[in-house]
A and B are shown apart, each in its own frame.
Chain A
């Protein structure tokens, strides 16, 4: 549970930046090269690299190389962090449902 909370915090921190959210948007259409991503988002190479590093460390994206050229980097989305985010929302909903049921029992004197 603790490890999940840490991973979730990384996901939320990574998605807290609008340029990184736009990067995720672009990657939803499919894998992209770093250069094409920078062009699509309107960022310079170094800024794009910084964002991609944060996204990679959060586990939201992964990097690979085409067989023909090890210098080319291709980025794609990984679904696991979003699954964790959904699980957190469901857990939060369950928490409040339980607490409100306890509140109702208390206020109604049962």
Chain B
């Protein structure tokens, strides 16, 4: 799955607390990132509306609200997923972020997966009636082959 980004970290908190802080206090912990802006109007304040179908938004310095995406999975304290669109994305282009909170001893492992349009998460594929395994495997192989052959194109 070359076009899927996966990052994990362990935090000294229960899954319940990690999930609550992640969603309720995102305005505080999220760091504006100059390289990765949602809109050209500069960084704003993030907010998550709780529950499936809730919005992930960024409120701009001028008060305008940009919708980054909708919550697609809301299963406290274990799982959260939302769509992710930046203003520069093409109309058909959508990515999805999944966050898992798993107990690890007295701590919690927080895993973020960011899928591109091409690496469709399983339930998304199911919604559209694709044969999940075959579909995902084909895409994963395609991307692996594409990115690994990148070097050979340069040499060729």
Chain A interface residues toward B at CB < 8 A: 1-2, 5-6, 9-10, 12-13, 15-16, 21, 24-25, 28, 30, 77-79, 82-83, 85-86, 89, 91-108
Contact = CB atoms under 8 A, between A and B. Distances in A.
Contact of A9 (B3, B93, B146, B147): B93
B5 A104 contact: no
Nearest to B33: A95
B7 A24 contact: no
B14 to A, nearest CB: 10
A13 B90 contact: yes
Contacts of A101: 9
A4 B13 CA distance: 39
A100 B9 contact: yes
A78 B119 CA distance: 23
A9 B118 contact: no
A24 B146 contact: yes
B88 A5 contact: yes
Contacts of B147: 82, 85-86
A108 B13 contact: yes
Nearest to B29: A106
A96 B11 contact: no
A91 B35 contact: yes
Nearest to B9: A100
Dominant SS among interface residues on chain A = helix
Interface of B: 2-3, 5, 7-13, 17-18, 21-22, 25, 28-31, 33, 35-36, 40, 86, 88-90, 92-93, 110, 112, 114, 116-118, 142, 145-147, 149-150, 153-154, 156
Contact of B29 (A12, A16, A86, A103): A103
A107 B24 CA distance: 11
Contacts of A105: 29
21 contacts: A6-B88, A9-B89, A12-B117, A13-B92, A16-B93, A16-B117, A24-B146, A28-B153, A79-B154, A89-B2, A94-B35, A96-B7, A98-B33, A100-B8, A100-B9, A103-B21, A103-B110, A104-B10, A104-B110, A105-B29, A107-B12
Contacts of A83: 150
Contacts of A92: 5, 36, 114
A104 B93 contact: no
